[in-house]
Amino acid sequence: MSDTNAQSVRYVRDTILPQQPPPASAVGFIGWARANLFSSWFNSVLTVISLAFIFYVLSGVIPWVFQSVWNANSLSECREVMVATWGDTHGHACWGVIKERWLQLLFGFYPPELYWRPIVALGLLLVALAPVLYAEKVPSKLLIVTALYPFVMPWLLWGGTIWAPLMVMAGFGLGYMAYTILSTKIGSLGAIIAGVLVPIVWWLFLSGAVASALASVLPLALQSVESRQFGGFMLSTLIGVVAIGCSLPIGIFLALGRRSDLLILRALCVGFIEFIRGVPLITLLFVASTLLNIFMPPGTNFDIILRVIIMVTLFAAAYMAEVIRGGLAALPKGQYEGADSLGLNYWQSQRLIIMPQALKISIPGIVSTFIGVFKDTTLVSIIGLLDPLGLSNAIRADAAWNGIYWELFAYIAVLFFIVCFGMSRYSMSLEKRLRTDHR
Amino acid sequence: MSSQSDPLPDSFRLSMLIYDTRYRSMTIQIVALIGALLGALFLIDNTISNLNALGKEIDFGFLSEPAGYDINQRLVDYMSRDTHLRASFIGLLNTLLIAVLGCAMATVLGVVIGVLRLSSNWLVARIMTVYVEMFRNVPVLLWIVLAMAVLIESLPSPRDFRGENPEASMMLFDSVAITNRGFYIPEALFSRSFGNIHFFGDSSLRFDLSLDLLALLAVLFGSIYAVRRLGKWAHAKQEATGLRPTTWHYTLAILVVPMLILLTVLGFHLGYPELKGFNFSGGTYMRNSLIALWLALSMYTAAFIAEIVRGGILAISKGQTEAASALGLRPSRTMRLVILPQAMRVIIPPLISQYLNLTKNSSLAIAVGYMDITGTLGGITMNQTGRELESVLMLMLVYLVISLSISLVMNWYNERVKLVER
């Protein structure tokens, strides 16, 4: 049988040919370009238009950024240098304004000799965030820094006696002590009530006297800085960090309230969330700047930054609540029923079963709310606080820099971009890390 | 479920309010209600005592006092001796104007950018990614003031148009003038106008509604309705005979002919802006603050809409596209008949909430001096009269009404597409 073919066919290949490399037009850069840039005549047209557009933009931006004036003390001086060097004033940046004012854009009117305090606060913030953001790489002992940070940060920024934050901390300690001692004696409910009441009594009536007594014995204090000296990117970061930090827990409780079976509780939560989401942030900031003092007992006059932080936090919490509610709704019902069948009570099942999954689902929404809050801190410039945008107006009011726009806007935009882009990239990596389904 | 409830106790004890599951939810709710009421009472009591101390009362009488300030971008007539209520009304109309303009442009831009981000052309997709990231990660307020600065700094002023050899010239056959004070575009004029209907007599909410505009809208909607009927007829014919009659020339005629007839009857012509003295007159004037706000808001929101559109298209599984091509549908028809109807269900709800965001963000108009409701009621009126509480309450109420109406539309739409679902 095998011989038949051998006689009728002249030539039979008995070895396989070595593989040829693919044609040069299908691999490498050319192949990639053919597939991605010139796959059809329409795509080719789009590519050419895009290239022209990129060239147009870069030919304007690159000379503007790099053929620029760094050493000048006023805009007119800048223009003189430009005319002397390039012959015209168009298309060249005057970075002199950034060189002169970049510290002011970062710190506002914070006393320059105290700049180390916001910097230390920022450094501590990073240390405090590390065990939260990178839980598996960072030793969990650092969580102590995270717990202490809310007390240390205001003291570092505003200064004043060290005893005030310590007294606030002591209140929490006392409340916890009251709870642990009483829970064995009078049952958990009484202990919880005592655990709430004791610190309140402490803060309202005792802590002030104790703090002043201690301060007279051991006057440890930082030079205090007034709120109106706060400004620049530091102010944005302060408002953003506090609002982000506080809005997540408040948002979780609001979301749980909105999904609970308790009619009145649900109505209260829905009313709050829909009211806050229905009005623009700027009206809430008007409330902070003009009305919040009217709502408080006569005679109280608390800090404008604190008022703004309260309103921004409430605003962010309402949005956060909706994001988390979406996560809760996306969980299959079996998870709730499974938790019930294990005999877990409401809080246990929320803490151990529901929330970890719901929060994981809502990470993209939570982070985009964070980014939104951080961007919205610029709105405080409208009620007269000196955030970077407010400061840029102030700088322009200076006769030396009257008429300068692009350099200031570019600087501010780059600062915001770095922070917001970083946040969104972190959320993507977190999503990838927490993904447990096998795709 | 009945097995969950506890066995009946012998007698009622106070601790059962907490520990008995039948009463606990009641207790919690009543405590919460009392807490909320006490909180509200606390705030109201403080407010009243504070206002008493300041010698103010809650009084909306300031709304009927003359405003005394001018509003230079307006849709209906207004003079500075009109009341504060009238000024607020103008502001509200301006808010609605920027919301409608912004939503329209943001949708167009957003859809184009979202689709282009999915383009198979690598370069185009990258450029669009850069656009989206650039706008999403920088505050909208910065974009608004930046747009305003661009308009003021880089456009010619009206006086550059003067003289024998002007530095700047009008565009599109001398019909559009783009200056740093704003844009002058041709206005629609009717030589045989039907006139106006006047609403609300002499009150602060008075406005004129142009009958010409109403007639144009009526003809437009009538034509659209007729075109849809024609489509249905063609569809029925196709079902019955298997052949679809050619209808595009009828469609075109239905859309164009009645409109042309109406325009001829009305004596339609354009009024062009003309340079008179140091400024332009005639035509429709759009102030630079309106343009800056419009551009910035719509470009900012377009970045978000692009992401929504992209997500919506990606959410449709690949099997749908493959099934459609297995049926022999062309790519364009696959998009129109298979992908888009399903993607719409994913896209529309977040899209409407972006419209809501744009409307709320339009309150940032105050940063560039566009007189929307925040600029009038929450800005000059509040500062002039010192009625912060009343002004801010009214302002919030207006925005709440706008937001809730948009939410209602969204809920209605969600209910409607839900019925289509299995």
Q: Quick: pLDDT tens for A346-363.
A: 889 999 999 989 988 888
The residue assigned the tokens 């039907």 is: B194
Q: Determine, yes or no, domain membership for B122.
A: yes
B356-383 core/surface letters (b: 16 or more CB in 10 A; e: else): bbbbbbbbbbbbbbbbbbbbbbbbbbbe
Task: Return the amino acid letter for A179.
Answer: Y
Which residues from chain B sit within 8 angstroms of residue A416, using beta carbons? 137-139, 142
CA distance A44 to chain B (A): 9
Predicted pLDDT at B9: 54
The residue assigned the tokens 């009946």 is: B8
**CA–CA separation, B128 vs B112, rounded Å?**
10
Compute the Cα dihedral for B352, B357, B359, B362 and give only its sign. Answer: negative
For chain A, give the mean pLDDT: 87
Is domain A228-434 classified as CATH 1.10.3720.10? Answer: yes
pLDDT in tens, A225-262: 888 888 899 999 999 999 999 999 999 999 999 988 88
Contacts of B234 (CB under 8 A, 6+ apart): B244, B245, B247
Of B28, B364, B395, the CB nearest to A262: B28
Which residues from chain A sit within 8 angstroms of residue B51, using beta carbons? 294
Q: Is A343 part of the contact surface with chain B (CB cutoff 8 Å)?
A: no
Which residues from chain A sit within 8 angstroms of residue B145, using beta carbons? 389, 409
**CA–CA separation, A256 vs A358, rounded Å?**
11
Percent of chain A with pLDDT over 90: 31
Instruction: Give the pLDDT mean for A272-296.
Output: 90
Q: Which of B231, B237, B190 is nearest to B213 (CA)?
A: B190
A68: left (phi over 0), alpha (psi -120 to 50) or beta: beta
Cα dihedral A228/A231/A237/A240 (nearest 10): 50
Task: Return the amino acid letter for B413.
Answer: Y
**CA–CA separation, A412 vs A420, rounded Å?**
12
pLDDT in tens, A367-381: 999 999 999 999 999
**CA–CA separation, A171 vs A183, rounded Å?**
18
Of A264, A275, A286, the CB nearest to B32: A264
* C-alpha to C-alpha distances, B213 to B64, B210, B219, B253, nearest whole angstrom: 31, 5, 10, 21
Instruction: Give the pLDDT mean for A134-159.
Output: 86
Q: What is the DSSP string of A273-319?
A: HHHHHHS-HHHHHHIIIIIHHHHSPTT----HHHHHHHHHHHHHHHH
Q: Cα–Cα–Cα angle for B74, B75, B78, nearest 5°?
A: 60
Instruction: Give the pLDDT mean for A74-79.
Output: 86
Confidence label for A403 from pLDDT (cuts 50, 70 and 90): confident
Q: What percent of chain A is helix, strand and coil (3-state, nearest 5)?
A: 75, 0, 20
pLDDT higher than 90, residue A48: yes
Which residues from chain A sit within 8 angstroms of residue B123, using beta carbons? 36-37, 46-47, 50-51, 54
Of B25, B49, B364, the CB nearest to A261: B25
Predicted pLDDT at A438: 54
Q: Cα–Cα–Cα angle for B403, B405, B407, nearest 5°?
A: 70
Contact criterion met (CB < 8 Å) for B30 and A381: no
Predicted pLDDT at B421: 47
CA distance B228 to chain A (A): 33
Q: Is A189 part of the contact surface with chain B (CB cutoff 8 Å)?
A: yes
pLDDT higher than 60, residue A1: no
CA distance A123 to chain B (A): 23
Compute the Cα dihedral for A358, A364, A367, A369 and give only its sign. Answer: negative
Picking from A279, A289, A377, A427 by the largest number of B CB atoms within 10 A of its own CB, the best residue to mutate is A279
Q: Coil, strand or helix: which one is B302?
A: helix
CB pairs under 8 A between A and B: 154
Of A37, A291, A389, the CB nearest to B392: A291
Which residues from chain A sit within 8 angstroms of residue B400, using beta carbons? 275, 278-279
Q: Determine, yes or no, domain membership for B389.
A: yes
Q: Coil, strand or helix: which one is B46?
A: helix
pLDDT higher than 80, residue A16: yes
Q: Which helix (H) or strand (E) holds A57?
A: helix A41-66
What ranges in B57-139 are assigned the alpha helix state H? 84-117, 122-136
Task: Give chain B's residues under pLDDT 50.
Answer: 1-3, 421-422
**CA–CA separation, A78 vs A70, rounded Å?**
8
**CA–CA separation, B359 vs B347, rounded Å?**
19
Which structural domain, as residue segments, surrounds residue B94? 63-186+272-417
pLDDT higher than 90, residue A413: yes
Of B25, B123, B392, the CB nearest to A50: B123
Q: Which of B364, B387, B368, B367 is nearest to B377 (CA)?
A: B387
Predicted pLDDT at B7: 55
Q: ipTM beyond 0.90? A: no
pLDDT higher than 90, residue A213: no
**CA–CA separation, B73 vs B89, rounded Å?**
13
Q: Determine, yes or no, domain membership for B79.
A: yes
Number of domains within chain B: 1
Contacts of B379 (CB under 8 A, 6+ apart): B366, B371
Task: Return the amino acid letter for A396.
Answer: R
**CA–CA separation, B61 vs A287, rounded Å?**
21
Q: Cα–Cα–Cα angle for B92, B95, B97, nearest 5°?
A: 110
Cβ B388 vs Cβ A291: under 8 Å: yes
**CA–CA separation, B14 vs A3, rounded Å?**
105
Instruction: Give the pLDDT mean for A116-122.
Output: 91
Tokens of A236: 């944005």
Q: Which of A169, A164, A163, A194 is nearest to A180 (CA)?
A: A194
Instruction: Give the pLDDT mean for A316-330.
Output: 92
Predicted pLDDT at B2: 44
Cβ B324 vs Cβ B337: under 8 Å: yes
**CA–CA separation, B63 vs A387, rounded Å?**
33
Name the CA radius of gyration of chain B, rounded.
29
Q: Determine, yes or no, domain membership for B347.
A: yes
**CA–CA separation, A173 vs A166, rounded Å?**
10
Cβ B83 vs Cβ B63: under 8 Å: yes
Task: Return the amino acid letter for B184.
Answer: Y
Contact criterion met (CB < 8 Å) for B32 and A39: no
A201 DSSP β-pair partners: none
Q: Determine, yes or no, domain membership for B94.
A: yes
Any idea which of A214-228, A327-341, A416-430, B240-254 has the lowest mean pLDDT?
A: A214-228
Q: φ, ψ for residue B190 (rounded to 5)?
A: -125, 120
Instruction: Give the pLDDT mean for A17-43.
Output: 85
Q: What is the CATH number of the domain that holds B375?
A: 1.10.3720.10
Contact criterion met (CB < 8 Å) for B121 and A46: yes
Give the residue, B206 or A111, on which the prediction is more confident. A111
Q: Determine, yes or no, domain membership for B104.
A: yes
Tell me, rounded to whole angstroms, the distance of Cα A359 from its chain centroid.
17
Which residues from chain A sit within 8 angstroms of residue B378, using beta carbons? 282-283, 286
B396: nearest CA in chain A? Answer: A279
